[in-house]
Structure 1
Amino acid sequence: MGLRRKKQRGEEIAAPVRGTAGDWAVELGGVRRQYGRGSGAVHALRGIDLNLPRSSFTAVMGPSGSGKSTFLQCAAGLDRPTAGTVRLGGTEITGMSENKLTALRRTRLGFVFQAFNLLPSLTVEQNVLLPMRLAGHRPDRRRAADVLTRVGLGDKGRRRPGQLSGGQQQRVAIARALVTSPDVVFADEPTGALDTTTATEILTLLRAAVDGMGATVVMVTHDPAAAAHADRTLFLADGLIVDHLDRAPAARIADRMTALTAPAYVGAAA
């Protein structure tokens, strides 16, 4: 991903250079999100310009209140920005009707959450096939079997989620996210409820989805060890992207987070 340097609120930060149309899985242009009005307004995002290439793994980190969750919600079409544009897989979603946006999320986006969000009454296979059913498409059981095999659960299709461990349930959630070959998989703290060993297994799977299946993953996390699996880690502070690291080890990411939460740094970003 090319970069240019630009000044923003007194800080010199990395900003992506635009490439040829079709290069990017995610494009945010001047995205702002404000909650409330007047003196009580909260500026969750203050102007995000970002391009993420296809088949890449991006981690997003920042202190509490930095705008991480709002960033993910706006990028994924779960929340509408107050200003700016969002494009996913080359399609602008900013002014899209709710019905069209819902259809897009079901067919072209994948989601992995901390709480798994599996339906306990359905089998593993049925959970994986759910995005296809919701989109009105005929369920492709071969595709479901393929992605379940890729996440190491090829023999668990007839089980119920309650019969699986937490790590296995998150594997099902990843298979469900990948089954439609989406433009982007958005992951919100996907390892937050898992022990260290299981978390590493899940992150290795996400990395393999990028490297082996051409997936694009955007992951919000508080864990430097999780971010170390990504191609790039973006750092948010006060609603702005203030820094990034490429292919960095966990210790370096942790050091940057420590610097990011220092009062002088936060004051400069604001």
Structure 2
Amino acid sequence: MGLRKGKRRETDDRPEAQGTPGLAVELRGVRRQYGRGSGAVHALAGVDLALSRGTFTAVMGPSGSGKSTFLQCAAGLDRPTAGSVRLGGTEITRMRENQLTELRRSRLGFVFQAFNLLPSLTTEQNVLLPMRLAGQRQDRRRAAAVLAQVGLADKARSRPGELSGGQQQRVAIARALVTSPDVIFADEPTGALDTGTAAEVLGLLRQAVDALGATVVMVTHDPVAAAWADRVLFLADGVFAGALDRGSAEQIAARMAALTSRTGAMVGAAA
């Protein structure tokens, strides 16, 4: 089973599309603060990041390091307190909410731990949902193509309740791919899957990058999952605290253990 090379989005030449050519994701000085005064929580404390198109990046960090906040800000699901975010060259931090909604539907893909499929819709209808919500023509041939790419060509009429967990996550990946998005954001995509099924799902994300030129940004706690990425970024206390290129699961786990130990020691010293 493999992903067939498909037509990719042409370079975005809209007036608002600026930034560094060839970059899919750019964060500059991104901060996210919750609350004020002495009780304020600095979930992101000044994040700078530049990710090239056609790459697979994993983001890891101890509990409370800011991983979820990073993903939400990078994907336009939350607004940073300060700094700027560009996706596919487009500045999104000053967009109105309706513009952000349109961008998320047409130019971004999402894969979540909980699959987030609508139980009343068929597999095909779930895959076509981003097109439907964006007011685009629902291209059934495109849906059939992406379902074939994820090995579910025979499940178009099935409903989520008739599929295994791994099959449901494949549907979610097909849904993420259907609009040929600038970036696919994956939040713990294998957290609810067994080891073998997780490997199949991660293989699909890897092939989306290698065969289709997709850009994947994945938040995970699992070193085995992170080892599928081109690069692993380590987040601690709201800032990136290191990176590892093409690391093994063992190398990634060792870096995470050291980071968690150091962060815990700092918390203990401040207590």
* TM-score, L = length of structure 1: 0.91
What amino acid is aligned across from residue 187 of structure 1 in structure 2?
A
Consecutive unaligned residues in structure 1, runs of 5 or more? 1-19
CA distance in 2, matches of 1:79, 1:146: 32
Deviation at 1:22, TM superposition (A): 1.9
CA contact (8 A) 1:233 1:245 kept: yes
Give a deviation string over 1:51-106, Cα, whole Å, max 9, x none. Answer: 00001000000000000000000000000000000000000000000000000000
Q: In the TM superposition, what are the counterparts of 1:94-113 in structure 2 within 5 Å? A: 94-113=93-112
Matches within 5 A, 1:58-97: 58-97=57-96
**Residue 245 of structure 1: aligned partner:** 244
Q: Is residue 205 of structure 1 aligned with residue 204 of structure 2?
A: yes
1:85-138 C-alpha deviation (Å, 9 max, x unpaired): 000000000000000000000000000000000001100000000000000001
Code of the aligned partner of 1:67: G
Once residues 146 and 263 of structure 2 are traced to their aligned partners in structure 1, the CA distance between those partners, rounded to angstroms, is 47
SS for the counterpart of 2:207 is helix
Question: In the alignment, what sits opposite 2:133?
Answer: 134
The equivalent of 2:221 in structure 1 is: 222
Amino acid at match of 2:69: T
Residue in 2 aligned with 1:169?
A: 168
**Residues of 2 paired with 1:94 and 1:179: CA distance?**
25
Partner in structure 2 of residue 12 of structure 1: none
Please give the alpha-carbon distance, in whole angstroms, between the structure 1 residues aligned to 2:43 and 2:265: 14
Spell out structure 1 runs of 4+ moving beyond 2 A: 263-268
Paired residue secondary structure (2:155): coil
Q: Give distance in 2, aligned partners of 1:173 and 1:264.
A: 34
SS class of match (1:87): strand
SS of corresponding position for 1:185: strand
- 1:263 and 1:87 map into 2 onto residues whose CA distance is 32
Give 3-state SS (helix, strand or coil) of 1:241's partner. Answer: strand
Give the CA deviation at 1:262.
1.1
* Cα displacement (A) at 1:21: 2.4
What RMSD over aligned residues (CA atoms) do the two structures have, in Å? 1.3
Structure 2 runs not aligned, ≥5 long = 1-18
Instruction: Using the TM superposition, give the Cα deviation of residue 266 of structure 1 relative to its aligned residue in structure 2, in angstroms.
Output: 6.0
2:180 aligns with 181
CA distance in 1, matches of 2:156, 2:68: 32
Matching residue's letter, 1:223: D
Distance 1:184 1:263 in 2: 32
Q: Quick one: structure 1 residues 266 and 29, their matched pair in 2 at CA, closer, same or farther if it must change by over 3 Å? A: farther
> CA offset at residue 225 of structure 1?
0.1
How many residues of Structure 1 are paired with residues of Structure 2 in the alignment?
A: 250
8 Å CA contact 1:109, 1:182 repeated in 2: yes
SS in structure 2 opposite 1:261? helix
How far does residue 263 in structure 1 lie from its aligned partner after superposition? 3.5
Cα distance between partner residues in 1 of 2:24 and 2:78 = 18
The Cα of 1:265 is off from its aligned counterpart by 7.6
Question: Would the aligned equivalents of 1:28 and 1:84 in 2 still touch at CA under 8 Å?
Answer: yes
| Whole-angstrom CA distance in 2 between matches of 1:198 and 1:63 | 25
Q: Distance in 2 between matches of 1:266 and 1:202?
A: 36
